[in-house]
Structure 1
Amino acid sequence: MVRASIFAVLATVSTVFAASGQNCSLTQLCPSDTPCCSQYGQCGVGAYCLGGCDPRMSFGLDSCVAAPVCESKTYDFKNLDRVTSNTKYLGDSSETDWVSDGDPQIYNDNLLLTMAPDSVGTLLASSTYMWYGNVKATFKTSRGQGVVTAFILLSDVKDEIDYEFIGVDLDVAQTNYYFQGIPTYSHGANISLSDTFNNYHTYEIDWTPDQITWKVNDEIGRTLKRADTWNATTNQWMYPQTPARVQLSLWPGGLASNGQGTIDWAGGLVDWNAADIKNNGYYYATFQSVTVDCFNATSAPGTNDETSYTYNSVAGTNDTVVDGKNSTIIKSLIGTGTDPDAGASSASGSSSSAPSATAETVPGRSGGESSGSDNHAGDSGSSSQTASTATIATDASGSTSTGSSDGQFSQGGSGSSSSSSSSSSKSGAEKLGASQEKVLKGSVFAGIIAVVAMMAL
């Protein structure tokens, strides 16, 4: 087993972060000088404007850089040649398959997501986006109380489909979904299986405009029909429907600074003196392969005909997604969607634009709920849900279904979700922003990380 070095952890586990950075939400957009709202609810430039940038909460819809369209591909992890740190990635998906935050390692032709003491784990996000389709991943989870392994689809507007694994419950795969990160009713259900730490399993998400199917080892574990997600109050389908990155993560749900609901859900505080820490220097999850098959629709939604996805409305629904030809690349980590050439060297050697003295370029993570939009802050412990070895029934939403689909599902409707901002409806990704400052501001380790990261740019 490869043992993580202190330098590797310092250099890659967490990067430049704004302790004083402005939070962003549906009711508090980012300012023009730091226009991009990151996945974690903080404003900045550069990597803030790439994967995870939420156009609804940014200064303008064009503040976020366009997202690379879906590519059907199987990823075998023989090396890290096409894995790029988020301190260096500038949006060119032709050169990078995965963007990393943390300390990924290669061991025996497998990818290890690692989580060392004083770190917040490792996150890998695909450089391209799926707009419906099929994705499967073969892996072994990590183990231990407070240790969470996740395999999810997460869109920039926080639509989410996921698998999550709690390290003290190795016989259960938790599944969940969210529409724009809003936990309007219980979306979770469990699938029972054998020891996830010692055994490889293939986890699959089959996502179409009308149905989501979760499979384990080719057997259906759960099905959700879009027709069962209609919300008559908001006049919307509460159904994941926008282009999403594949994310693989290992993170400390049991971090002491997390909310008590998250800690309880994760099985308690992380034991930083556990056997895996003593023997290897870190907790780890082992990923063998990931396969993405795009939906390849002939007309929107679900196409990947052009080069990039953007949004033309703050509604953030599938009928507001544009499959177009906008560039996905910035010239430096002070670039934005509206000024992708910022920081580019001119013939005279000067830059075309100078960065703000306070602009943050790479979003950091606290470890709290970093796998996606899961909201465990008020949970009584979702890991206690009743599991089933057979197909899990579709969730009872208590809402009105409009019946069968007419083919290609298009959200339409009033787009009223763009005004939803109450604390009870905020996603975990939004709430994470508030906890980042608290965690990193008081951490000497995080300060060292930031200095090292800036030196590496």
Structure 2
Amino acid sequence: MLRSLLPLGVALLGATSVLAVDPPSCSLDKKCPEEAPCCSQYNQCGVGAFCLGGCDPRMSFSIDSCVPAPVCKDKTYKMDSLDRYKHISEYLGDSSKVDWVGQGEPLLYNGHTLLTMPPKSVGTVLATTTYMWYGNVKARIKSSRGAGVVTAFILFGDVKDEIDFEWVGVDLNTVQTNYYFQGITDYGNTGNLTVDDSYNKFHDYEIQWTPDEIRWLVDGKVGRVKKRSETWNATSQQWNFPQTPSRVQISIWPGGLETNAKGTIDWAGGKIDWNSDEIKKYGYYFATFGEIKVECWKTDKAPGTNKGISYYYNDISATNNTVVDSNKPTILKSFLGTGTNMNKGDKAQSGSASQSSAVHAIPGGGVVGSGNTPGVDGNGGSGSSGGSGSGSSSGGAASNPGCSSDGFVQNCGQAATDGGDGNNSNNAVRGADRTLGASAFAVIIGIAGLLFL
């Protein structure tokens, strides 16, 4: 993987029509400011959703700016329903009620979940709400196909530890495997496995991850093994081996987007054809996901425990000996909250529903402040809407605050599906993320935190 998509991510996020000013950027050398303390997976700073899944404590204002992450739970996801899926703008950290968060357009078909990528979009990504600190995860998958179309099934940690399966749509007989420690590029980490027609045939793909090794399996057969003992870095005096709590993430993303770097496009098999037979027939590219099963690592002693409620870090070195299995809470009261003030915006607390200035709360779109406070369930308030408050959207088509006047918008202006009248306060944010210029969520997550193979 090449670490070269930060400019792309910033460019796409900066093109959003729902925000007047880009969020502050963050890195290991430039931490977030106190007023926007959480460094999201996209290396930008804010509050609310910025502080949940993907928040990097190493780049945030303080190590406790990020909200603690829900611990691992053994679970089988049938993927035959979207009842326990929420858009990122609707989730405040309660993993007991939500299994998957994401962005884009997941659909149901014949008892399976399709991740779709319509023309001129950046695809779809889903991530589990709980984290896995070692263990096994197995997924039944049919990949997408087509030049420039990439499917991903990965483990991805907040400090950018990563273990991958990825499929490039021009080679349906190969699945690529990869791993990274804290996002450090190493071209020797890749390995290819042979598979029979990944688009038309379901196969079971499995990652077995322990403190000592990673195994990649296809249909129950071990295809690759990487031992921790092989990853010692004498210069840094550490093991360059994934070792911290990670979410399961599945995605389809446009590696062949014409604005991507040439190296990305070449790796993805060429530029995407938005007028292909696949698009003409279905209206989108898609990958199909069947049952996904997570089995947590079984141990009574760290690393890898899951006895408490949440994980957090006690040192910015962010190695497995700095992870704490704790009973700290994981749920924000509103999108004004952070890891150091999780009750901010709670309507039950007098005077807490005000904010002196607007601040970014949803990566890629959504500002709260100046009296705008999203509701406790993530659906209320005008802070994440296209309403008239000072934290509202300043762009989009005049007929609907969730529509952009430039670029493709999928289901632009669609009425709310929760039985409402189409005035759901999240429509502006959700509409924006379907526009090519409005968000890079799926691209950035699909390439695992500003990396690409």
TM range (shorter): 0.7 to 0.9
Does the residue aligned with 1:329 lie in a helix, a strand or coil?
Answer: coil
| Aligned position for 1:56 | 58
Q: Structure 1 residues 454, 146: closer, same or farther in 2, change over 3 A?
A: closer
- CA deviations 1:280-303 (Å, max 9, x no partner) are 111110001100000021110000
- Segments of 5+ residues of structure 1 without an aligned counterpart are 1-13, 366-441
Supply the AA of the counterpart residue of 1:234. S
**1:67 and 2:29 aligned:** no
Does the residue aligned with 1:444 lie in a helix, a strand or coil?
Answer: coil
Contact 1:15 1:364 in 2 (8 A): no
| Aligned position for 2:272 | 270
Partner Cα separation in structure 1 for residue 405 and residue 268 of structure 2: 22
CA deviation after TM superposition for structure 1 residue 144, in Å: 0.6
Does the residue aligned with 2:264 lie in a helix, a strand or coil?
Answer: helix
Q: What's the TM-score, normalizing by structure 1? A: 0.76
CA RMSD of aligned residues (A): 2.3
Does the residue aligned with 2:279 lie in a helix, a strand or coil?
Answer: helix
In percent, how many aligned pairs have the same letter?
Answer: 55
**1:284 and 2:246 aligned:** no
**1:191 and 2:193 aligned:** yes
CA deviation after TM superposition for structure 1 residue 360, in Å: 1.3
Q: What's the TM-score, normalizing by structure 2? A: 0.77
Partner Cα separation in structure 2 for residue 293 and residue 89 of structure 1: 24
Q: Structure 1 residues 342, 445: closer, same or farther in 2, change over 3 A?
A: farther
Q: Structure 1 residues 20, 84: closer, same or farther in 2, change over 3 A?
A: same
Q: Structure 1 residues 59, 443: closer, same or farther in 2, change over 3 A?
A: farther
Partner Cα separation in structure 1 for residue 195 and residue 274 of structure 2: 27
- CA deviations 1:318-342 (Å, max 9, x no partner) are 0000000111100111211111112
- CA deviations 1:218-275 (Å, max 9, x no partner) are 0111000000000010000000000000000000011122222111111111111111
Partner Cα separation in structure 2 for residue 139 and residue 243 of structure 1: 23
Partner Cα separation in structure 2 for residue 78 and residue 161 of structure 1: 25
Does the residue aligned with 1:310 lie in a helix, a strand or coil?
Answer: strand
- CA deviations 1:301-360 (Å, max 9, x no partner) are 00000000000000010000000011110011121111111222137xx66143464411
| Aligned position for 1:370 | none
| Aligned position for 1:114 | 116
Contact 2:118 2:285 in 1 (8 A): yes
Partner Cα separation in structure 2 for residue 86 and residue 271 of structure 1: 29
Contact 2:90 2:426 in 1 (8 A): no
Does the residue aligned with 2:331 lie in a helix, a strand or coil?
Answer: coil
Partner Cα separation in structure 2 for residue 335 and residue 267 of structure 1: 42
**1:229 and 2:201 aligned:** no
Partner Cα separation in structure 1 for residue 61 and residue 103 of structure 2: 25
Contact 2:89 2:430 in 1 (8 A): no
Partner Cα separation in structure 2 for residue 72 and residue 193 of structure 1: 28
- CA deviations 1:396-424 (Å, max 9, x no partner) are xxxxxxxxxxxxxxxxxxxxxxxxxxxxx
**1:86 and 2:88 aligned:** yes
**1:201 and 2:176 aligned:** no
- CA deviations 1:411-439 (Å, max 9, x no partner) are xxxxxxxxxxxxxxxxxxxxxxxxxxxxx
| Aligned position for 2:428 | 453
| Aligned position for 1:364 | 364
- CA deviations 1:363-419 (Å, max 9, x no partner) are 139xxxxxxxxxxxxxxxxxxxxxxxxxxxxxxxxxxxxxxxxxxxxxxxxxxxxxx
**1:176 and 2:151 aligned:** no
Runs of 4 or more consecutive aligned structure 1 residues displaced over 3 Å after TM superposition: 14-19, 355-358, 445-452, 454-457
Contact 1:166 1:267 in 2 (8 A): yes
| Aligned position for 1:388 | none
Supply the AA of the counterpart residue of 2:291. S
Partner Cα separation in structure 1 for residue 220 and residue 201 of structure 2: 15
CA deviation after TM superposition for structure 1 residue 455, in Å: 8.5
| Aligned position for 2:222 | 220
Q: How many residues align?
A: 366
Partner Cα separation in structure 2 for residue 304 and residue 27 of structure 1: 32
| Aligned position for 1:375 | none
**1:444 and 2:383 aligned:** no
| Aligned position for 2:380 | none
| Aligned position for 1:327 | 329
Partner Cα separation in structure 1 for residue 97 and residue 246 of structure 2: 19
Out of 304, 307, 332, the position equivalent to 2:306 is: 304
